[in-house]
């Protein structure tokens, strides 16, 4: 766990095979400073290194998910401290990883906050959530993945609207476009993320990781590349110990007992 003084800027806790990561600078609307960037990278390192953790939820301490970059930190060193070598902005948006991450969003997720959400695999959101790339309003550009990832998640013309006007979209609109998987009443995003995590954790972990990789990396690839990677995913899934358990559970009409091996 990464500590900023006596208070953790990023909190980490385990809940069975699930890790819950919380951005914890509520007084600054969870804006990303060096403590958050290094703390989030350390949390993802911990998720990836722990064989008993199969999935993570990423959320923010109320009242916001994240307001993006801490402009005081940017002014102090040109923004270098809020990037890490492996993870890029917030230690996360460029981070190579194998395990799914669900974003649970309450309140604004703007600028870099939206870019953190876009780097996640699934999203739950309360009605108070909003998403946007307001950088142009400050003569900036959304350089942490937002300008190319948003149009992969929602219609390109809507992504263009967000990029050029800087205006946010509501949780309801984001849900209608498919950016948000589950929308809830205010305060319900984390519980919805736990429920969604339960649906994922019911499945074989290696098969989940392989499937995630193909969807994330090959949706826009050529068919030839995608077919080849899909075959690799099937091979890895069927070579896992859990493959036999899945077959036996089906034959014996019982829930499977996954080991992640």
- Going from N- to C-terminal start, the domains of the chain cover 10-201, 205-251
pLDDT of residue 5: 39
pLDDT of residue 3: 36
Q: Between 1.10.246.90, 3.40.50.280, 3.30.365.10, 3.90.226.10, what CATH number should domain 10-201 receive?
A: 3.90.226.10
Q: Is 48 designated active site?
A: no
Closest CA to 201 of 66, 16, 39, 35: 16
For residue 117, how many other CB atoms are within 10 A of its CB? 29
The pLDDT tens digits of the residues spanning 129-154 come to 999 999 999 999 999 999 999 999 99
Closest CA to 143 of 234, 74, 198: 74
Q: Is 115 designated active site?
A: yes
- Catalytic residue of the set 27, 41, 106, 135: 135
pLDDT of residue 74: 82
Residues 179/154, Cβ–Cβ less than 8 Å: yes
Choose between 45 and 74: higher pLDDT. 45
pLDDT of residue 90: 97
SS3 letters across the chain: CCCECCECCEEEEEECCEEEEEECCHHHCCCECHHHHHHHHHHHHHHHHCCCCCEEEEEECCCCCECCECHHHHHHHCCHHHEECCCEECCCCCCCCCCCEEEEECCEEECHHHHHHHCCCEEEEECCCEEECHHHHHCCCCCCCHHHHHHHHCCHHHHHHHHHHCCCEEHHHHHHHCCCCEEECCCCHHHHHHHHHHHHHCCCHHHHHHHHHHHHHHCCCCHHHHHHHHHHHHHHHHHCHHHHHHHHHHHCCCCCCCCCC
Average pLDDT (12-34) is: 97
Whether pTM exceeds 0.75: yes
Q: Determine the Cα–Cα distance for residues 44 and 42; give it in Å rounded to an integer.
A: 5
The pLDDT tens digits of the residues spanning 213-231 come to 999 999 988 889 989 989 9
- Catalytic residue of the set 41, 106, 115, 210: 115
């Amino acid at each position: 766990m990464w500590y900023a003084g006596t208070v953790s800027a990023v909190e980490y806790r385990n809940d069975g095979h699930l890790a819950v990561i919380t951005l914890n600078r509520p007084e600054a609307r969870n804006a990303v400073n060096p403590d958050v960037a290094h703390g989030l990278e350390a949390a993802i390192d911990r998720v990836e290194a722990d064989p008993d953790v199969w999935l993570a939820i990423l959320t923010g301490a109320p009242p916001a998910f994240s307001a993006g970059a801490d402009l005081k930190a940017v002014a102090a060193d040109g923004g270098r401290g809020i990037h890490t070598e492996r993870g890029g902005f917030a230690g996360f948006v460029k981070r190579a990883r194998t395990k799914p991450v669900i974003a649970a969003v309450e309140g604004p997720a703007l600028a870099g906050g939206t870019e953190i959400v876009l780097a996640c695999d699934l999203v739950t959101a309360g009605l108070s959530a909003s998403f946007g790339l307001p950088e142009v309003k400050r003569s900036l550009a959304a350089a942490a993945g937002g300008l190319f990832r948003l149009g992969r998640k929602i219609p390109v013309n809507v992504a263009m609207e967000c990029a050029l006007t800087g205006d946010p979209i509501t949780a309801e609109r984001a849900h209608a476009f498919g950016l948000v998987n589950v929308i809830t009443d205010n305060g319900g995003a984390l519980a919805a993320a736990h429920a969604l995590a339960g649906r994922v954790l019911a499945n074989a972990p290696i098969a989940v990781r392989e499937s995630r990789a193909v969807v994330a990396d090959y949706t826009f690839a050529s068919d030839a590349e995608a077919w080849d990677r899909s075959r690799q995913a099937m091979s890895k899934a069927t070579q896992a110990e859990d493959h036999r358990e899945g077959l036996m559970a089906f034959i014996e009409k019982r829930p499977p007992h996954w080991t992640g091996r």
